[in-house]
Amino acid sequence: MVKGCEAICTLFLYINKEKEYICNMVDLMQTLLGDKLRKAMVISGQMAWYEAFDNELKRFILDWIQKDQLQQGIDEDGDLLGLYSEFTESINPLKIAGTPYTLEDTGDFYKSMFITVLSDSFIIDADPIKGTDNLFFKYGDGIVGLTTENMDKLREQIKKKYIAFIRRSLEIG
C-alpha cells in the first residue's frame, strides 16, 4: 500500500498513463510541491493543539473567566452567583448591597486558577478552599468554566493559532 506523497504521485502516474505523460515521482518530490507535501505529512493536529494553548491563550482564558464572568458575578451558564445583602455591606463597605459576588475578596482564588492542556481537551481549575468553604461546592464547578460567548472567542483564537501553525509548518507567507 502506498502512503502520503507517494500515493499522490502514483495516482498522478495512473491517471496520466494513457496520455503518455511522463511523471517520475522523484522529480515531483524534488519540486516546491513535493517539499510542501513532505512538510504536510508531518503536521500533527496534536502539535497544533498544544502550540495553540500557549501562555498568551491561557492568560486570555483566565481573563475571560475573571473579568468577563466573575467580575459580573456569573458562572459558565451565565447564572448569577448571588448578590451582596445590606447586612454584608454593613460588615464590609466594599461589598455594596445589590452588587454581584465576584469571588475576589482576597484575590487568592483568582491567583490559584490554572489551565492544564491534555491531548484533546483542557482543564481549568483552581484552589476552591476559602476558609472553611469550598467555592466549588458552594457555587458549582462552573465558576471556572467558560460561557458560550467566551467559548466562541476561544474557538476563534484556536482557529487563528491553528492557521498560523499550518502556515509556519508549510512555510507559507
Three-state DSSP class for 127? coil
**pLDDT number for residue 170:** 77
List the domain boundaries for the chain: 4-42, 48-163
Instruction: Show the DSSP H helices in 17-147 as ranges.
Output: 25-29, 32-41, 45-52, 55-63, 86-91, 108-112, 135-139
What digits encode the pLDDT tens for the residues 4-46?
545 545 545 555 554 444 455 556 667 776 676 776 676 778 8
How much is the pLDDT for 53?
94
For the cut 80, the answer to whether the pLDDT of residue 132 exceeds it is yes
Would you say the C-alpha torsion 160, 162, 165, 166 has a positive or negative sign? negative
- Those residues whose C-beta lies under 8 Å from the C-beta of residue 157, and which sit 6 or more positions away, are 52, 57, 60
Where do runs of H (alpha helix) occur along 79-147?
86-91, 108-112, 135-139
The pTM of this model reads 0.78
* Per-residue pLDDT at 88 exceeds 50: yes
